Structure 1
Amino acid sequence: MRVHLGCDHAGLNLKSHLIARLTELEYEVVDHGPFVYDALDDYPVFCIRAAEGVARDRAAGIADSLGVVIGGSGNGEQMAANKVEGIRAALVWSDETAKLARDHNNAQVVAVGGRMHALEDMTRFVEVFLSEPFSNDERHVRRIDQLTAYDKDGVRPALPESAKGLGPAEDQD
């Protein structure tokens, strides 16, 4: 499996640790930077490139390509990765959120906060994410299809009959 990594200065130590750990586990690691500490660097520069690497691989038929983006909280890094067309990035903070990001959401990129958890915990979250397959459960496929369609054409999914007439008028189909 190929794993694309990107971070900012707050994620540099975890990224270095993950490169060694993932290489040890025989993942093919692609490092999109940064390569030196710069307290003023900008996470979009590196996280967008990591997510683009995953998107390019998948478009080329490399289905087992995933990404990891790392920052202080992981929030901005997740947002940056989610700007790349076709990418679903999930912020994880536990084993369960890492598992569900893949199992339910088929996320291709995981975001972790380098200042939020112990190194061992963050490493485990990434390993759980990378090892968890997508369930292909019909309800999860349906939900992902709704997100994909909205990204493509901007049309909201239709309200279920049970919700019609219960919300603001602008939410009614």
Structure 2
Amino acid sequence: MQISIGNDHAGTSYKHAIVQHLKDNGHDVNNHGTDKEDSVDYPDFIHPVAKDVENQSAQFGIIVCGSGNGANMTANKHQGIRSALCWNNEIVALARQHNNANILSIPARFVSLQQAIKFVDIFLDTPFDGGRHQRRVEKIACS
């Protein structure tokens, strides 16, 4: 599976570990994140992830910043993007099952690296339930 990832300075160490985990599990990764811990502007690294998912050059995106909020807000400015800020396993699963989320936003300062990697696995392994949720997801987009 093709996964796009982006991060700011607060998510650099998590991004490195997540990329390795994804590659170890046979995924291909578009890395748009910074590789340094020097302060950067997160939108510069999040917009490319959202564009990859938007234009289908990646099936899913993973974004990491300190709170996850700014990255999540940035990604959700793009048409067809349903980015979900997740902080526990159940929220991750529900974001996929009920909302058909296509980008996972991880708050690096509020979850452990072990939790973040588990979130990635849950996100990629959980299918969208469809059914009544499909109608709701269709109502998210503005025309």
| Equivalent residues in 2 for 1:5-154, closer than 5 Å | 5-39=5-39, 41-57=40-56, 65-137=59-131, 139-148=132-141, 151-152=142-143
TM-score (norm 2): 0.96
Partner deviation per Cα, 1:102-133 (whole Å, 9 max, x = no partner): 11000100100111111101110111011111
Partner deviation per Cα, 1:70-96 (whole Å, 9 max, x = no partner): 000101110010011110100001111
Q: Give distance in 2, aligned partners of 1:132 and 1:33.
A: 25
User: Quick one: percent identity of the two aligned structures?
Assistant: 38
> How many residue pairs are counted as aligned between the two chains?
143
Q: Give distance in 2, aligned partners of 1:52 and 1:87.
A: 9
Q: CA deviation at 1:18?
A: 0.4
Q: Is there any run of 5+ residues in structure 2 with no aligned partner, and where?
A: none
Which runs of structure 1 show a deviation greater than 4 angstroms over 4 or more consecutive aligned residues?
none
Q: CA deviation at 1:37?
A: 2.6
Which protein has greater RCO, CA pairs closer than 8 Å, 6+ apart? 2
**TM-align CA RMSD:** 1.1
TM-score (norm 1): 0.80
Q: Is there any run of 5+ residues in structure 1 with no aligned partner, and where?
A: 153-173
Max Rg structure = 1
Q: CA deviation at 1:57?
A: 1.2
Q: CA deviation at 1:35?
A: 2.7
